[in-house]
Amino acid sequence: MKHSKLQTKTKARKRRGNSRYFLFFIIILIGIAALGFTGFEVLSRMDMLDVRQIEISGNSAVADSLLRAELKPYLGQNLLKVDKKQVSQRVTAFARVKEARVRRKLFNTLLVQVTERKASLYVKSLEGELFPIDAEGVVLERFGSVYTENLPLVGLLLSNSEFKSGEKIKNASLNRILATHSRILKEAPDFAQNVSEYYTLDNVVYIVDIRGGERIIPGEKNLAKQLSRYEFVRDNGNIAPSAILDLRLDNQVLVKKVN
């Protein structure tokens, strides 16, 4: 009986001891959190951590001056208080920018690494304006009236007002052309530089060769071999510049003369 009472008292003391350790642990955590908060507040008020420099990398189409103007409000802010997500959102507001990674560099530098959307084609509007788009059909900004990117041309029956930067063009013909262009870049990249223009007729994609104006109808498979056969026929077949070459037949090039 006495032995049972002693065991009960021992267990009670152990429970009280465990409770004390748990309480000490909670107090220590609160103390660490308080020190961390105090330390952050002190550092966030130090002038030596104010942003004095913004380093931008990865951009080519969007000029440094445009990005710096957009990020100018962050100069003078404390580095620790800069909202990195907000900075990224400001940069990706440019349709040309697909992603922006932001890092802090002690003691007063903000690093912004830009990943741009690459222009894939120019789309010509009804008014004759050229609008660059990426591989997904997203309209990209034009900076100035000088077009420096060497890209194939696509004509669509769309007015200038229908092209909105950052928005995707929804057009079945354009989707077919983008798919064909993507195939060329993937399967026959050396031929891509010869493409002057794309257009569709009766849901068929035509490729215009920049060298002589020949029009090519690609098939659905073995594109590299098709274009290789086309090059052979072009070099040895005395083809008229306005000819249409149909590559949809296996192992054949069908030449159509157009009057």
Q: What is the pLDDT of residues 188-216, one digit of tens each?
A: 999 999 999 999 999 999 999 999 999 99
pLDDT score of 208 = 97
pLDDT score of 62 = 92
pLDDT top residue among 151 and 107: 151
Q: Which residue has the tokens 């609008």?
A: 131
- The pair of structure tokens assigned to 182 is 């993507």
pLDDT top residue among 216 and 10: 216
Whether residue 120 contacts residue 130, with contact meaning beta carbons closer than 8 Å, is answered with no
pLDDT score of 241 = 77
Q: Judge whether residue 10 has pLDDT over 80.
A: no
pLDDT score of 196 = 97
- Give the contacts of 55 (CB within 8 A, at least 6 positions apart): 105, 109, 110, 111, 112
| Stretch (H or E) spanning 232 | helix 223-236
Q: pTM above 0.85? A: no
What gap in Å lies between CA 7 and CA 114, rounded to an integer?
Answer: 69
Assign 101 a pLDDT band (cuts: 50, 70, 90).
very high
Q: Of 112, 119, 147, 151, which is closest to residue 133 (Cα–Cα)? A: 119
CATH number of 49-116: 3.10.20.310
List of E strands, the chain: 53-57, 97-105, 109-116, 121-124, 130-133, 153-155, 195-201, 204-209, 215-217, 244-246, 254-256
Whether residue 93 contacts residue 80, with contact meaning beta carbons closer than 8 Å, is answered with no
What is the Cα Rg of the chain in Å? Answer: 32
Q: CATH number of the domain at 121-256, out of 3.90.320, 3.40.50, 3.30.70, 1.10.10?
A: 3.40.50
What gap in Å lies between CA 198 and CA 156, rounded to an integer?
Answer: 10
Mean pLDDT, rounded, for 36-46: 55
pLDDT averaged over every residue in the chain: 86
Q: Judge whether residue 14 has pLDDT over 60.
A: no
Q: What are phi and psi of 121, to 5 degrees?
A: -145, 160
Q: Judge whether residue 44 has pLDDT over 70.
A: no
> What Å distances lie between residue 215 and 110, 143, 186, 189, 205, CA to CA?
51, 32, 20, 18, 10
Assign 107 a pLDDT band (cuts: 50, 70, 90).
confident
Assign 66 a pLDDT band (cuts: 50, 70, 90).
very high
